[in-house]
């Protein structure tokens, strides 16, 4: 896939921030070096140390990649059809997640839309007719992936609760039947004793 960049496109993912004096080139180089050593991301350091908002970073990425930016939205429900066969460890390694769509058209959030090898991989794995890319921060992508795991666990818990409820209902029903049977036996024994007494029987 190729990206057609307009006249407003920048030459680097953080050029917009540089041009607006929100960060210096020296800071960027320092963040890049530290991110590699500390196993974090430049965007994380830009937010925590340079105090640049996620929206501003997203706008900078948009201008470079020419693709709309998306941050994490807890109200978005990931598409079951596209996610059900995807391993979460695999998705974290790949750095992308289906956000919406189906087998005909899928919207995918990825941290680097220029990584063609990963795009080819997602096309192979998802086997959809059309892929639409959105740029996102890797931390947000991980949040979506984690929410996918939590949803699966919730479904498992719901199934377990349903099963326990069914089992409990069966136990209660069986207990009722046992109580009814016990009551009938007691009545029968009492009747036998009463009849024997009335008949002056010496043995029961």
- Partners of 97 in the beta sheet? 109
- Partners of 109 in the beta sheet? 97, 134
pLDDT digits (tens, 9 = 90+) for 140-164: 999 999 988 765 444 444 555 566 6
- Find the distance separating the first CA and the last CA of the chain, reported in whole Å: 95
pLDDT digits (tens, 9 = 90+) for 26-59: 999 999 999 999 989 999 999 999 999 999 999 9
Half-sphere exposure of 150 (CA within 13 A, CB side): 9
How many residues comprise the chain? 204
Q: Are 18 and 32 in contact (CB under 8 A)?
A: no
Retrieve residue 14's tokens. Answer: 């953080």
């Amino acid at each position: 896939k190729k990206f057609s960049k307009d006249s407003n496109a920048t030459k680097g993912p953080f050029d917009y921030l540089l041009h607006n004096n929100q960060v210096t080139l020296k800071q960027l180089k320092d963040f890049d070096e530290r991110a590699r050593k500390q196993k974090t991301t430049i965007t994380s350091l830009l937010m925590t140390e340079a105090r640049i908002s996620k929206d501003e970073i997203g706008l900078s990425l948009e201008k470079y990649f020419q693709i709309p930016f998306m941050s994490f939205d807890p109200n978005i429900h990931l598409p079951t059809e596209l996610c059900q066969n995807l391993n979460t460890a695999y998705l974290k390694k790949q750095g992308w997640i289906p956000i919406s769509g189906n087998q005909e058209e899928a919207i995918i959030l990825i941290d680097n839309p220029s990584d063609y090898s990963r795009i080819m991989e997602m096309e192979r794995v998802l086997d959809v007719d059309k892929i639409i890319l959105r740029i996102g921060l890797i931390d947000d992508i991980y949040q979506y992936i984690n929410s996918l795991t939590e949803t699966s666990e919730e479904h498992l818990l719901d199934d377990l609760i349903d099963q326990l409820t069914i089992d409990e209902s069966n136990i209660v029903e069986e207990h009722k039947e046992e109580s009814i049977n016990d009551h009938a036996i007691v009545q029968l024994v009492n009747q036998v004793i009463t009849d024997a007494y009335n008949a002056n029987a010496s043995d029961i």
